C-alpha cells in the first residue's frame, strides 16, 4: 500500500509538470476513479466538460471519460489535440444504435425530426437535428412544433420520460439502454427509501444511468419526494441542505467528490454496484502515459464534424 501511494504521488507530480510543459488540461467526468479526478483541472458532467473544451486555451485536452465525450470535445474544438487515455473506454448506450440503423429509421419516417441523446457517436450526431442531455431533453422536444414527429434516440427510458412530461403522442423511441441505469430499478430505490427514512433522495438528470429512474418518478413508481438535480445542482444541494444523510441514485463515482466536499455528511448509493465499467478503464497511470506519448488521439473527420456541430450547437443554445 505504501509503495502504491508513493507511485501515485510521483505520477501526480509528473502529470502536473507535463501539463505545464505541454500546455495541456485534464478533464475528468464525475464517474472517474478518485485518483484521476484528483489530477484533473476540471471535474463535471459531459456537457460541462464539452463547454470547457471549447473555452480552453490549452493545446492538449486529456479527456478522462468515454469515447463519445472526447469526440464531442474534438467537434467543438477542432484546433485542439484531444486525447483519451484508453481507447476501450466506450459506452454501451452509444453502441446501441449505429449510423446505418438511424438512416433506415429516418427513411421510414422522412418528415421526422431526429433528437439524439448526447451519448451517441459523432456519426449518429451528424445524422441528427438536435442533441440533448437528460436535463434539457424536455426543453429540446418542446422547442419543436407539435405537428412534427420526433425520433428520439437511443435511450428508451429517457424517451419515455420525455413523452410522459410533454404529453406528446408523436414521439417514436429507439429501444436502447446503458448497462448501468438498466440495473437501477424503482424497487431498489423504494427499498433504500424504506431503510433510510430520513435521507434526502437525489437523482442526477444529466447522465444516462438515471434515465430509467426519471421515468419511474414520472410514473409514480417511486415513493416520497425526489430531487432531480444536475451534477452541480447535486453538489450545491449537498452543501446547502440541512440534511446530513443522502441517498444518491447514479453511478457511484460521484460519491467521491460529494464526500470530499462534505466530510460531515453521509452519502449512500442506492445501488453499490452501479458502476460504469468503461469509465473505470482510465487510471492515473494511463493519464500519465497519455501525456508522455500523446495517446490516444480522438479526431472526428471534418465532413462528419461539420454536420455534427449543428445539433450540438442547438443543444448548447437551448441548455
Residue pair 247/193 in contact (Cβ under 8 Å)? The answer is yes
**Model confidence, pTM:** 0.87
Q: Please say if the pLDDT value at position 4 is more than 60.
A: no
* 91 assigned binding-site residue: yes
Q: Using CA atoms, how far apart are residues 117 and 174, in angstroms rounded to an integer?
A: 11
- Count Cβ atoms within 10 A of the Cβ of residue 83 and give its class: 0-12 exposed, 13-18 middle, 19 or more buried: buried
CB-side exposure of 251: number of CA atoms within 13 Å? 25
Report the CATH number of the 181-269 domain: 3.40.50.10800
| pLDDT category of residue 2 using cuts at 50, 70 and 90 | very low
117 is in an annotated binding site: yes
Per residue in 233-283, pLDDT tens?
Answer: 788 899 999 999 999 988 899 999 999 999 999 999 999 999 999 999 999
Decide if 45 contacts 207 (C-beta within 8 A): yes
Per-residue pLDDT, 229 = 73
Percent of the chain with pLDDT over 90: 68
Q: Is the pLDDT of residue 170 over 60?
A: yes
Residue spans of beta strands (DSSP E) within the chain: 24-29, 42-44, 60-64, 81-83, 113-117, 130-132, 150-153, 171-173, 200-203, 227-228, 245-249, 266-269
118 is in an annotated binding site: yes
* C-alpha span between 249 and 192 (Å, rounded): 10
Instruction: Find the mean pLDDT for residues 209-218.
Output: 60
Note the pLDDT tens digit of each residue in 92-147: 899 999 999 999 999 999 999 999 998 999 999 999 999 998 778 899 999 999 99
Question: ∠181-187-189 over CA atoms, to 5°?
Answer: 70
* Residue 204 marked ligand-binding: yes
CA 280 to chain centre: 14
d(CA 235, CA 222): 22
206 annotated ligand binder: yes
What is the crossing angle of helices 254-261 and 231-240, to 10°?
30
> Per CATH, which fold does 2-91+279-300 belong to?
Rossmann fold (3.40.50)
134 annotated ligand-binding residue? yes
The reply to whether 46 sits in an annotated binding site is: yes
Tell me the pLDDT tens digit for each residue of 270-291.
999 999 999 999 999 999 999 9
**What class has domain 94-177?**
alpha beta
205 appears as a binding residue in the annotation: yes
Domain with CATH 3.40.50.10800 in the chain: 2-91+279-300, 94-177, 181-269
Amino acid at each position: 500500500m505504501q509503495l502504491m501511494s508513493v507511485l501515485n504521488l510521483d505520477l501526480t507530480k509528473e502529470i502536473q509538470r507535463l501539463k505545464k510543459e505541454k500546455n495541456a488540461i485534464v478533464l475528468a467526468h464525475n464517474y472517474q476513479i478518485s485518483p484521476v479526478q484528483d489530477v484533473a483541472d476540471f471535474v463535471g458532467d459531459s456537457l460541462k466538460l464539452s463547454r470547457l473544451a471549447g473555452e480552453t486555451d490549452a493545446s492538449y485536452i486529456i479527456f478522462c471519460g468515454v469515447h463519445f465525450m472526447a469526440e464531442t470535445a474534438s467537434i467543438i474544438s477542432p484546433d485542439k489535440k484531444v486525447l483519451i487515455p484508453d481507447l476501450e473506454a466506450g459506452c454501451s448506450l452509444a453502441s446501441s444504435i449505429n449510423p446505418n440503423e438511424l438512416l433506415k429509421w429516418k427513411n421510414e419516417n422522412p418528415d421526422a425530426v431526429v433528437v439524439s441523446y448526447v451519448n451517441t457517436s459523432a456519426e449518429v450526431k451528424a445524422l441528427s437535428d438536435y442533441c440533448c442531455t437528460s436535463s434539457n431533453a424536455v426543453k429540446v422536444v418542446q422547442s419543436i412544433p407539435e405537428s412534427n414527429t420526433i425520433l428520439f434516440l437511443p435511450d428508451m427510458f429517457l424517451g419515455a420520460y420525455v413523452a410522459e412530461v410533454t404529453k406528446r403522442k408523436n414521439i417514436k423511441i429507439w429501444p436502447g439502454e446503458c448497462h448501468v441505469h438498466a440495473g437501477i430499478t424503482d424497487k431498489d430505490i423504494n427499498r433504500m427509501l424504506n431503510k433510510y427514512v430520513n435521507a434526502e433522495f437525489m437523482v442526477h438528470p444529466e447522465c444516462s444511468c438515471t434515465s430509467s429512474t426519471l421515468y419511474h418518478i414520472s410514473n409514480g413508481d417511486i415513493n416520497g419526494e425526489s430531487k432531480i438535480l444536475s451534477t452541480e445542482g447535486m453538489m450545491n444541494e449537498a452543501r446547502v441542505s440541512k440534511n446530513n444523510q443522502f441517498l444518491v441514485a447514479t453511478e457511484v463515482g460521484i460519491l467521491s467528490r460529494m464526500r470530499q466536499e462534505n466530510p460531515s455528511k453521509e452519502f449512500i448509493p442506492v445501488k453499490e454496484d452501479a458502476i460504469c465499467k468503461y469509465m473505470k478503464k482510465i487510471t492515473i497511470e494511463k493519464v500519465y502515459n497519455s501525456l508522455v506519448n500523446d495517446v490516444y488521439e480522438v479526431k472526428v473527420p471534418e465532413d462528419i464534424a461539420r454536420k455534427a456541430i449543428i445539433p450540438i450547437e442547438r443543444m448548447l443554445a437551448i441548455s
